[in-house]
Chain A
């Protein structure tokens, strides 16, 4: 049975230049994510990836359709859902003047849990930084710390919104390792990304979104076989970036 079930999810926003008109930021998205999967959502900027995640996380009202996580309905039981999910948002700033271990203890308290900050920091290789302030971390360290914060409630599902954007190759690969480790403990991971290598290497299954809709879904290999343009003479060739561009077009977004 899927741990995340989404049917016909929709979100409407007023148009930026004409407030009386509305447009669908998310328009009829359906997803079935199995427990233990690493599931990737790809799409150009403005495709509705973050809005979809925010609706699942309870940050955004659901305007249409249904979503349930671990059998709990998201719109009727948001507080129960929050107990079983961990979330890393795109913004990863925290309170000033509070150390990493104090922040982790705080996040634990928000779930009414006593947590061991040092063992959480060990999981993300930041045990040396227990007394440091978030402002003094590098980009990769900040992302790993955000993941540590998302783990305080031992979530069944971990949401990562563009976790490797802006990281150098070392930090990126290090984060992939961390995600694989977490996944190997049985944790379901849902992430959004612009990085095709990340999608191909890390994800078990992918959904590609554009203009609020899912336009393709499948394993990375399956998508390549199905959508990558075949060069006339050569055998199977191309990668996910070709798939992405073939599906969403070459036009610049935003």
Chain B
């Protein structure tokens, strides 16, 4: 399939890319920092909320209420003196303090018993989360006290059988974005650099053909990109506990398709741009809008409606949503056929443009 020339050239490009440790390091460094920060920010939200309980009542009902809150994973309860807990609330160590008055169960069932909630206004956003839980807890105590069965029961059936965290959403998009950047830089920036140094010209006076050169760069760069992405995925799975539900081969299939599309786009940009500055600017025109519009950080559905039709057909959108469907929902290649079709269309566009634009005589000079 490959000629001896193409194999040799590929192996030389592999050596060149592999020995460029600095760029390999930086291409891994930023996604890893990114993932770590997001997973850290993410896990903090799941930490229990600190609340204090001042139990002046001492009755069994008040004790039950406190126990139920202590048992709830949502709260980290400390029971204690009002003065100390108020100080802690002001210091920000407690989110709220519940005061169960001495007459909490005095006329239970006949009069409504009051609970005082002392909050710091700055923490008010979390009240929306806490209040329904408190009300629910009180309701179940009331039902038990009055001996009535709940009228309705909600059973939650999680069809995806796993919890979706933001980092799970983010990872496939981040992988897609990383492969786009590595690919566009890997072909585009290299071509401009090789032209500047006169290397393209030197290659062109040998009997090598453009397709040999393009094939070798695509294969070598793809191998490096696959290694880099595998390191990132390994990092995410091992250290950040991110699950990839779907089939790994399907996942990598989309990665490979995406890499080819973006390498071709890199060849187009590298052929058009004559200087490093120009390729930087052209690269940004292609890369920047896709960072924000391709559903990397938030779903395309949540964008303004007028921009969605554009966002959905961007090459990075097809790649990132395809990878996300596989990673998060366990989709098969058949199920993401529309994405594959979209990537295919972009491949044809990019490949034709790359072969039209990458002409030795013009690109080398």
Contact = CB atoms under 8 A, between A and B. Distances in A.
B243 interface: no
Contacts of A93: 197-199
B8 A109 contact: yes
Contact of A97 (B16, B203, B208): B16
B205 A59 contact: yes
B19 interface: yes
B5 interface: yes
A96 B205 contact: no
Given A60-B361, A79-B207, A97-B15, A106 B9 contact: yes
Interface residues of A, number: 30
Interface in B1-19: 4-5, 8-9, 12, 15-16, 19
B208 A110 contact: yes
A61 B361 CA distance: 8
Interface in A49-69: 57-61
Nearest to B21: A97
A82 B205 contact: yes
B16 A59 contact: no
A106 B12 CA distance: 7
A87 B4 contact: no
Contacts of A106: 8-9, 12
Contacts of B8: 105-106, 109
B4 A112 contact: yes
A111 B207 CA distance: 6
A195 to B, nearest CB: 21
B206 A98 contact: no
Given A96-B20, A98-B15, A91 B201 contact: yes
B202 interface: yes
Given A97-B20, A110-B207, A102 B15 contact: yes
B20 A95 contact: no
Nearest to B8: A109
A109 B4 contact: yes
A91 B194 CA distance: 11
Contacts of A87: 202, 205
Contacts, number: 75
B89 interface: no
B364 interface: yes
B312 interface: no
A154 B60 CA distance: 101
B302 to A, nearest CB: 44
Contact of A89 (B15, B16, B202, B207): B202
B297 interface: no
A110 B206 CA distance: 7
Interface string A70-113: 00000000010011010101111111111000100111011110
A59 B207 contact: no
A130 to B, nearest CB: 15
Given A59-B361, A61-B361, A110 B15 contact: no
B75 interface: no
B197 A110 contact: no
Contacts of B204: 58-59
Given A57-B205, A82-B206, A109 B5 contact: yes
A153 B12 CA distance: 19
A221 B16 CA distance: 49
Interface in A122-163: 149, 153
Contacts of A94: 197, 199, 202
A13 B335 CA distance: 55
B12 A98 contact: yes
Contacts of A112: 4-5
A95 B204 CA distance: 14
Interface of B: 4-5, 8-9, 12, 15-16, 19-20, 194, 197-199, 201-209, 361, 364-365
Given A83-B207, A97-B15, 5 more contacts: A87-B205, A90-B198, A102-B12, A106-B8, A153-B206
22 contacts: A58-B204, A58-B205, A59-B361, A79-B207, A87-B205, A89-B198, A94-B202, A95-B12, A95-B16, A96-B16, A97-B16, A97-B20, A105-B8, A106-B8, A106-B12, A109-B4, A109-B5, A110-B5, A110-B9, A111-B207, A149-B202, A153-B206
